[in-house]
Amino acid sequence: MPSPYGPKAEAGPPGLAAKLLGFCEELRGEGVAVGTSEILDAFAALEQVAWTSREDFREALAATIAKSQEDRRAFELLFERWFFRAAEAEAVSRGVEERERRYEGGEQIDLDELREQVRQAIVEGDDGEMRDLARLAIAAFGRQGEGSGVVGVDVQRIRRTLGLSAGQQPPAEDGAAELPPIDRDQLNAFERHLRRELERELIERTSTLPPSRPLAELDRALPTSPTQDLAAVHRAVSQMKRRLATLGHEQRGRRKGWTVDVRRTMRASLETGGVPMHLRYRPKRPRRPEIYVLCDVSTSVTSASVFFLSVLHALHDSFRKLRSFVFIERISEVTEVFEHERDFRVIAQRISSEGGVADVSGYTDYGRVWLEFLGEISDDLDPRSTVIVLGDARTNGREPHAEVFAQVAERAGRLFWLNPEPRLYWNYGDSVMAAYERHCDGAFECWTTRHLENFVNVVAGGVPAAD
Amino acid sequence: MADGSVTEVKDALAQVGYLADEPAALVSFLAQRLGKPILVEGPAGVGKTELAKALSRASGRELIRLQCYEGLDEAKALYEWNYRKQLLRIQAGGEDGWQDVHDDIFASEFLLERPLLQAIASAEPVVLLIDEIDKTDQEFEAMLLELLSDFQITIPELGRVAATTMPIVVLTSNNSRELTEALKRRCLYLWLDYPELEREMEIVRLHAPELDEGLVQRLVEVVRMVRALDLKKPPSIAESIDWARTLLLMGAEDIDQETFEQSMSIIVKHRTDIELVAERVGVKLAQPIRTEG
């Protein structure tokens, strides 16, 4: 059957289709949604480009298969691995070896000259040259029996022997011209080549492929350095924003506030001879989520409050209508601080100095916080608003005022509680989580970005991620 | 536009002033050959909309643009019956029987074509740009599906309107929400990011050819420095070009601290951002400039 897409480019080598299907299977395993229609598109696209051009081949595949930036990332990683492995597996099965040719001249290499060439290639960022030199370097070292057999160790050993390090170069000893600085990315590229070639050699030597591992999980523990993990929190929150932007607009209350769309009503009346039998209404504009965040910053949650503040920081970046509060014994609004400050460290400092939330003892007083919150804010709360509480619900033996909390829950559309303690510890000691949990639309343990993502999923009506 | 190979597409785009990188050229090429829509995502100001405009210029096709916004509905995007005219027709044709009138008022004469229908019904091939699709609701996306996969629109009273010529469809999204799988499935995906140093220099050179070579490099380096900061709105490519033209007008010889602070508002447009940039970048520029090379 002639292709509906015009003349085909040259067909790929036999077995390519099977390899591609295997690749798609692998992608699915990493959670990229590759449907049959994507695969058909991929084949159609590959008919249009020359399969011998690596760049075009990869881009054509990516354009048809990876439909988001996250997917694209997984695609890049897997593409490299899959086709590298596929080529090696083929070589093993056919008994193709290039060992002899590769090491030709390995003994005669002058180390200083090689070092100079590698440096040159890295500075110029010449990919092909780096690859060839990586092979040469391996040849020079491998022949001397210096290989440890562990790829990662060998890579570092070779790098050190070549005297390569990123950044400014130390001045040459013999007073020669100053060496240009080496870019870290380029150095990494060279190391990748080394690794690739060493793996190839290992596969040839053992005639087997090492087992393929799933991509590393981007799981994190409680962030210790806030600025480092801020990015991860921001990612999770921006995902939450997207979810909230499309979901959670379900209609609440009765059909009030609808306005008649005169034009469409007139138009509909044509069907009934000009008598407006059916009223048409203007579509309701989706409403913007209004969010209130209450964050406990007392000493009992010190370790978590940095994480919580970074969550707050990220929320402020994503939502326009967001008001944030911190509390210990009293509650204090800090929306202003977040709106005018971008630097996370400055924010943390200002909140601890200006918050004015600790009264006398410095122990959390949840009951008083609810009373104050209700007193100040209750008029603004309506079914559109979402309240998120970040805290451990440890009242230090004071009156929890759960009934006040219930009032808050009633006025707000939705109320969620994120607790930095494992569920196991809830309700032990002075924790009164159970009293509050009854009134929440959901209570979650939350001290890692993974938990945060889980929360986002649940809020958006998805399934909780498996632990 | 020549569509024989990826390189030809790239050259054709370059001739109309759009320097596409490899992926962008390839996807444009595939879109024409496979007749599939392109979904372009990326940060604001990297030339997503410009790609559609360039495609239209390069192929000599008319550009039909649908700007999306919250609450955009079928009447604004697809078609609408011109009910005033229909009423007039009913009143004017007093003696005609109901049957005649009924048949008559749902003719294409009384149809107001909106961008999508316009693109489909056009006799000449067009480029259809659906801009910022992420601003609309999911319902609107669903409505697009028929159009995007079959290039046809069904009007209950008239029947099916199928495209006579294959339009090139470009959808852009700022990634403010996740688009539905169904929509993505029908499109080729292209992620546009801020260009590499070299390519951005080429772009600036193309649009401000009189600017001194060394200054172009300096300008792009500074812009990249600014983008690396955590800003509310990082400068776009268009703003780099604007800045280059501003420097030309100012007759600047070099970007030193003074020039930078005078013209900074071209690339940074947020009060808090301006403070941050002045603090971080302005100070760096105060140091003596190392010679090129």
| Amino acid in the structure at residue B179 | L
Contact with chain A for residue B48, Cβ under 8 A: no
Q: B71 vs A285: CB contact, 8 Å cut-off?
A: yes
Interface of B with A in 232-251 (CB under 8 A): 232
Q: Nearest CA to A420 among A400, A398, A443, A439?
A: A443
Instruction: State the pTM of this model.
Output: 0.60
pLDDT for A241 beyond 80:
no
pLDDT by residue (tens digit) across B79-121? 888 888 888 888 887 666 777 777 777 888 888 889 998 898 8
Contact B30 A60 (CB under 8 A): yes
CB contacts, 8 Å: A453 with chain B = none
Return the CATH class of domain B6-70+124-191.
Answer: alpha beta
Q: What is the average per-residue pLDDT within A173-185?
A: 62
pLDDT grade, residue B57 (50/70/90)? very high
d(CA A306, CA B78): 50
Q: What is the pLDDT of residue A280?
A: 83
User: What distance in Å separates residue B184's CA from the closest CA in chain A?
Assistant: 6
Q: What is the pLDDT of residue B160?
A: 87
Q: What is the pLDDT of residue A299?
A: 67
Task: State yes or no: pLDDT of A303 exceeds 90.
Answer: no
The conformation of residue B251, written as its DSSP 8-state character, comes to T
Closest residue of chain A to B293, computed from CA coordinates: A180
* pLDDT value for A222: 36
Q: Average the pLDDT over B277-284 and give the result.
A: 76
Determine contact: A7 vs chain B, CB below 8 A.
no
pLDDT band, residue A387 (cuts 50/70/90): confident
A63 to B190: CB separation less than 8 angstroms, yes or no: yes
One DSSP character per residue, B37-95 reads -EEEE-STTSSHHHHHHHHHHHHTPEEEEEE--TT--HHHHTEEE-HHHHHHHHHH-SS
B32 chain-A contacts, CB cut-off 8 A = none
Whether residues A63 and B188 touch (CB distance < 8 A) is answered with yes
pLDDT per residue as tens digits for the range A322-333: 888 888 888 888
Average pLDDT over residues A139-152: 63
Q: Does A438 touch chain B (CB under 8 A)?
A: no
- pLDDT, average across residues B250-261: 82
Q: Which residues pair with B170 in a beta bridge?
A: B38, B129
Give mean pLDDT, residues A42-46: 89
pLDDT at B170: 94
Exposure string over A14-27, b if 16+ CB within 10 A, otherwise e: eeeeebbeebbebb
Q: What is the pLDDT of residue A251?
A: 42
Quote the pLDDT of residue A223: 36
Per-residue confidence at A394, pLDDT binned at 50, 70, 90? Answer: confident
Q: SS3 of A292, please?
A: strand
Can you tell me the mean pLDDT for B60-83? 88
| B220-229 pLDDT tens trace | 988 888 888 8
**Taking a contact as any Cβ pair under 8 Å apart, which residues of chain A between 211 and 270 contact chain B?**
241-243, 245-246, 263-264, 266-267, 270
With bands split at pLDDT 50, 70 and 90, how would you rate the model's confidence at B168?
Answer: very high
Per residue in A195-211, pLDDT (tens digit) is 777 777 776 666 665 55
Summarize the confidence of residues A235-244 as an average pLDDT.
Answer: 65
Question: What region, left, alpha or beta, does residue A73 occupy, with left being phi > 0 and alpha being psi -120 to 50 degrees?
Answer: alpha
Q: Where are the alpha helices (DSSP H) in chain B?
A: 6-15, 22-34, 48-59, 74-77, 83-92, 98-105, 115-121, 138-150, 181-185, 197-207, 213-228, 237-250, 257-263, 271-277, 283-286
Per-residue model confidence (pLDDT) at position A467: 38
Comparing C-alpha atoms, which of B283, B232, B289, B242 is closest to residue B265?
Answer: B242
Is pLDDT above 90 for B62?
Answer: yes
CB nearest A60 (choices: B26, B73, B232): B26
Pick the CATH number of A228-247+289-459 from 3.40.50.410, 3.90.79.10, 3.50.50.60, 1.20.1250.20: 3.40.50.410
Mutate to test the interface with A, among B33, B87, B155, B197 (most CBs of A within 10 A): B33
Handedness of CA B66, B67, B72, B75 (dihedral sign): negative
Question: Where does the pLDDT of residue B65 fall: very low under 50, low under 70, confident under 90, or very high at 90 and above?
Answer: very high
Q: What is the pLDDT of residue B128?
A: 93
What's the rounded mean pLDDT across residues B166-176? 87
Confidence of residue A225 (pLDDT cuts 50, 70, 90): very low
Q: pLDDT-derived band of residue A103, with 50, 70 and 90 as boundaries?
A: very low
Q: What percent of chain B has pLDDT over 90?
A: 17
Residue B292 is predicted with a pLDDT of 41
Q: List CB contacts (< 8 A) between B190 and chain A.
A: 63
| Lowest-confidence segment of A29-43, A354-368, B230-244 by average pLDDT | A354-368
Whether B115 and B65 have beta carbons less than 8 Å apart is answered as yes
Which of A165 and A374 is assigned the larger pLDDT? A374
Q: What pLDDT does residue A148 have?
A: 60
pLDDT at B55 over 90: yes
SS3 A24: helix
Given an 8 Å threshold on Cβ–Cβ distance, is A62 in contact with B189?
yes
Does B32 reach chain A within 8 Å, measured CB to CB? no
**Which residues have CB under 8 Å from A262's CB, separation 6+?**
none
pLDDT at B278 over 50: yes
Residue B269 banded pLDDT, cuts 50, 70, 90:
confident
Domain spans in chain A, listed from the N-terminal domain onward: 16-94, 99-168+180-206, 228-247+289-459
Q: Do B36 and A245 touch (CB under 8 A)?
A: no
Tell me the shortest Cα–Cα distance from B250 to chain A, in angstroms. 32
Mean pLDDT over all residues of chain A? Answer: 72
Q: Which tens digit of pLDDT belongs to each residue from B14-40?
A: 989 888 888 899 999 999 888 899 999
Contacts of B86 in chain A (CB under 8 A): 270
Averaged pLDDT, B125-148? 87
**Burial classification of residue B93, based on how many CB atoms lie within 10 Å of its CB (0-12 exposed, 13-18 middle, 19 or more buried):** middle
| Interatomic CA distance for residues B136 and B172, integer angstroms | 12
Using the Cβ of A183 and the Cβ atoms of chain B, whether some distance falls under 8 Å is answered with no
Q: How far apart are CA A88 and CA A347, in angstroms?
A: 53
Contacts of B189 in chain A (CB under 8 A): 62-64, 66-68, 72
Q: Do B191 and A48 touch (CB under 8 A)?
A: no
Give residue A10's pLDDT band: very low, low, confident or very high (50, 70, 90).
low
Q: Tokens 């962030």 map to which residue? A: A223
Q: Compute CA distances A166 → A98, A131, A158, B99, whole Å.
A: 32, 18, 15, 84
Distances (CA, A) of B10 to B4, B26, B150, B202, B219: 11, 8, 27, 14, 25
More confident residue, B287 or A421: A421
- The answer to whether A59 contacts B26, with C-beta atoms less than 8 Å apart, is yes
Looking at every residue in chain B, the average pLDDT score rounds to: 85
What is d(CA A363, CA A104) in angstroms, rounded to the nearest whole number? Answer: 74
Which of B185, B231, B272 best probes binding to A when mutated, by most A CB atoms within 10 angstroms?
B185
